[in-house]
Structure 1
Amino acid sequence: MADPAADAVVRQMRDAIMDTDLKLLQAVNTRLELVARLRAYKRSQGMDFVDQAREDWMHRYLAASNRGPLSEEGLHEIYGRLLDLTKAETAEDDPAG
């Protein structure tokens, strides 16, 4: 059996996957920073942080923009978890929760 670590195609694909993972990580961190700023602004203006209508719209917008191969179900799962994570991560800086 061939050694995957010695295969040039495997190495190339792994490098491309890692590059994509690093881009995802940066995008999530950027999103967290933006949401934290939005949360602080909304708090200073007496606005509710969570806007369910906006979240619903974003789900629909992303579903319409998705060209796959990610399924719509997969998109909703990932995005729902991202929203939950974002709320939890930015709540640490928000005394109001």
Structure 2
Amino acid sequence: MIDDLRAKIDEIDEKLVELMNRRASTALEIGQYKEKRSWRITDEEREEAVLNRVKGLNDGPFSDEQMERIYGQLISETKEIQKEIKVEVDADDSSDEAGRN
């Protein structure tokens, strides 16, 4: 019984990891779009809308507050990845310019 339940959790975890990485990849595309236009990475209004939407989708057993913390962390980590990409892009641009001089 418990082994079956744990196997079920393992399957769910595999799907969660895949979905979180797909979400992060899409967010990176958004970050690149913003970078090309010199837009800020952080969009508080959008983050609030995402959190409100997630809470509206939530039917438990997580509370809305727990779901907000989980998604808040996901959003925070995604922004960190976007910032890392921005630093890499900026570094590449600098080395390209140095090579041209």
Structure 1 length-normalised TM: 0.84
- The aligned residue for residue 4 of structure 2 is 12
Once superposed, which parts of structure 1, at least 4 consecutive aligned residues long, lie more than 3 Å away?
A: none
Which ranges in structure 2 are unaligned for 5 or more consecutive residues?
91-101
Aligned to 2:25: 33
Q: Which residue identity is paired with 1:27? A: L
Partner residue of 1:78 out of 70, 76, 81: 70
Residue-by-residue CA offset, 1:39-84 (whole Å, 9 max, x unaligned): 0011102222211011111111111111111101101110111111
Over the matched positions of the two proteins, sequence identity in percent amounts to 27
Query: Unaligned stretches of 5+ in structure 1?
Result: 1-8
Structure number having the greater helix percentage: 2
Q: 8 Å contact 2:41–2:79 — kept in the other structure?
A: no
* SS in structure 1 of the partner of residue 24 of structure 2: helix
Q: Tell me the TM-score normalised to structure 2 length.
A: 0.81
Q: Does 1:24 align with 2:16?
A: yes
